[in-house]
Amino acid sequence: MQKICAITKKGSIIGGGYSNRTRATKFNPTGKVRKYPNLQKKKVFIPELGKSVNIEVSTKGLRTMKKNGAYATLLKAGLIKAA
């Protein structure tokens, strides 16, 4: 399964490692590092539908759901259909 947030659609990025030794010597022995979003598997109950949905969502996506409501956020993301 891909490591992508269901709500924000955030995926992995490639960043460069940079050590303190690099700063001292101007030599970069570190390679590229893939960094993943902070994904959590959650079971969310949606009262409008009367059922629970399992989603893999980033922590920022959880905050979005808390702010806008689970039903509205999942409906906008296309994960559920309107009742």
State residue 82's pLDDT score: 78
Whether 2 contacts 11, CB under 8 Å: yes
Hunting for tokens 């759901």 — which residue is that? 65
Say what the pTM is: 0.72
In a domain, 40, yes or no: yes
Give the domain CATH number at 47: 2.30.170
State residue 61's pLDDT score: 92
Number of domain units in the chain: 1
In a domain, 73, yes or no: yes
Domain span at 67: 13-77
In a domain, 41, yes or no: yes
Q: Which stretches of the chain drop beneath a pLDDT of 50? A: none
State residue 60's pLDDT score: 92
State residue 32's pLDDT score: 79
List Cα–Cα distances, 23 to 35, 38, 55, 66, 71, in angstroms. Answer: 22, 28, 41, 42, 49
In a domain, 4, yes or no: no
